[in-house]
Each structure stands twice: as C-alpha cells, then as structure tokens.
Amino acid sequence: MVATRADRAAPTPSLAHRVEYGALRTAIGALGVLRWERAVRAGARIGALGYAPFRVRRRVVERQIAAAFPELDPARVATIARGAFEHLGRIAVETALLSRIGRAEVLGLVEGVDGWDLFERLHAEGRGLILVTGHLGNWEVGGAYVAARGLPIDAVARRMGNPLFDAYLTRTRSRLGMAVVPDQDAVRRTPRALAQGRVVAFVADQAGLTLSSSYIPFFGRPAKTPRGPAVFALRFGAPLVFGVAVRQPAGTYRITFEEIPVRDTGDREGDVDRVLEAYTRTLERWVRRVPEQYFWHHRRWKRQPPDTPPELRDPT
C-alpha cells in the first residue's frame, strides 16, 4: 500500500527524542554482535532491573497481577511480576533485532504452529481476514511469521511517543513484509485491505481516549476494549481469528490461531459486544496459561464505567 500524506505525518523529533534514539541504536549495535540467544538473555537481565532495583511501574504490575489472580500469595505474585519484567526485556531485544534478520530466520524463531490450516482456509475464502491478539508473548514475531509465510498483512499500530523509534519500527515491520497502518487511518484503509484479500492485524487489548470502545470484562473487571476489529468483521463479513505467539522454554515460539465466532443477528451493538467478549475471553484464557508473558505494565482497568462497584475498580 502507498503511504498517504496523513500516514506520513509525524511530529518533529526533539533533542530528547534524538538522544533516546541514539542510545537505542547504540544498544542495538552492541547486542547485534552477540548471538541471538545471548542477546535475548541480556535483554531479560536488563528487564529485571526495572523490577529491582529501579522499580519501574512495579507497583502497577504487582497490583494488577494480584487483582487478576486473587488466589495467589504475595510471593507468587512477585515471581510472576519479575518474570513479566524479564519477558518485556526479552521481547524488546527481539523486536529491535528483527531489523537484522530475514524470512528464513523469522520462520526459525517458531518451533510449531497450531491452527495454520484454519488460518489459510479462512483467508482463502477471499473476504480478507481480521487477526486480533493482545500484548501477550511476542506479537511482533507473530505478525512477522504471517508475513514470512507469504500472506499480505497490514499491521494496525499506534504511533510511538518517539517519532524516530516509531519510524525505525515501521521500517522493520515493512522490511519483514508487513504494511503498517497508523490506528487513526484504520477506518479508512481497512475496508480496502479486506476487499483486496489482505490480513488486517490488531493488538486489541488497549483502548486510547479517541478509539471507539466498549467496557468488556477482563478477569472479572470492566476494561475499555477497542471495538474496531469486531465492527469491521461484522460490517464486511470478514472472518476473525485470534492469534498468539507464546515463548517456549527453548527460547523459540509456538503460535496458535483460533477462530472467533462472528454472528450478525441484526443487533449491531449487541453483536459487536459479543465478539469483543469472545476474543477477550480467549485472551484471558491464554494469559492464565502464561501470566508472566503478559504486558501488566499497562493499566488495563484505568478507565471504567462510573457505576463500577468499588471492589472491581482499577486496583492500581
């Protein structure tokens, strides 16, 4: 897809942005001389520093884990929280180093795939396909894998705060075969992409102030959830698939695809919410399997309906 003027618009980098980006590229250069496995282990150690001694959002992470898993004792909560910081360090390094590898290496990061036949069959129906995931495992590896298998894929993404890093990540995704769509352009570009038979991917577990959203239960608490993937699936009759790339003990990933039912009963508002509930339940099921691989650093329950009971409000 050709970028439009609106797609290219980005804020002018500040001096702080340039310093941050310079430090990032220096770190990538240093890690790039290491074997992939050693670089990722270094990322885990760096990530662990955020838990201790620096305590970067440690309170947010621990309180959200405790709220999601009230049956866990403080020691187990702390173990999962530390694991989440280590995992974030790993995937940060992996994402940065994706710029240095090609299709064969991307495929080599994946040790197995469940549901690929389903994915290909739904895509072959010719209505396009909507892929949803959450901030679990490594969503960048998941998208890169779909592109490496030769399917045309658009990745709907929110702009990063640092425009230089945003441009770097966009170049990386593009080089791996993904077309990047800024989230503010998704309404305009998704219909055309689906008509062209493309896969349109959304990371659909964070809702900004400007995104159309519904409050959907996530671990029993109302969480503001973007409506876009469900709306597009219903409006254009596109199949909707949940995908997740979960890190395995060997350091590779296993990817799973599951179809999310989309039923048009004529009650558009209710139908949208039912689709949102279905893929949110699927995400929750996977988070329960590997809680240390979820991005607990984001305040998932920050925005809630005004009538939310006190015991279900944001725990942070």
d(CA 52, CA 254): 29
d(CA 19, CA 231): 40
Give pLDDT tens digits along the chain (316 positions): 334 444 456 789 999 999 989 988 898 889 889 999 999 999 999 999 999 999 999 999 999 999 999 999 999 999 999 999 999 999 999 999 998 999 999 999 999 999 999 999 999 999 999 999 999 999 999 999 999 999 999 999 988 889 999 999 999 999 999 999 999 999 999 999 999 999 999 999 998 766 799 999 999 999 999 999 999 999 999 999 999 999 999 999 999 999 999 999 999 999 999 999 999 999 999 999 999 999 999 999 999 999 999 999 999 9
Q: Within the chain, where are the H helices?
A: 5-8, 15-32, 36-51, 58-68, 74-97, 103-108, 116-123, 139-148, 163-175, 186-195, 228-236, 268-289
Question: CA 191 → CA 1, 126, 130, 207, distances in Å?
Answer: 13, 13, 11, 21
Counting every residue written for the chain, the total comes to 316
Task: Say which residues have a Cβ less than 8 Å from residue 73's Cβ, sequence separation at least 6.
Answer: none
Quickly count: other Cβ atoms within 10 Å of residue 306's Cβ.
Answer: 4
| R_g of the chain computed on alpha carbons | 19
User: In this structure, are residues 138 and 92 in contact, taking their beta carbons and an 8 Å threshold?
Assistant: no
| Predicted local confidence at residue 5, as pLDDT | 40
Residues facing residue 253 across a β-bridge:
110, 247
Q: Is-above-0.75 flag for pTM?
A: yes
| Predicted local confidence at residue 6, as pLDDT | 41
Tokens of 72: 């866990």
User: In this structure, are residues 156 and 183 in contact, taking their beta carbons and an 8 Å threshold?
Assistant: yes
The domain segmentation of the chain, as residue ranges, is 13-302
**Residue in the structure block whose two tokens are 């360090």:** 89
Q: What is the pLDDT of residues 10-48, one digit of tens each?
A: 789 999 999 989 988 898 889 889 999 999 999 999 999
Q: Are strands 213-218 and 178-182 parallel, antiparallel or unpaired?
A: unpaired
Tokens of 311: 């015991």
Q: What is the pLDDT of residues 270-312, one digit of tens each?
A: 999 999 999 999 999 999 999 999 999 999 999 999 999 999 9
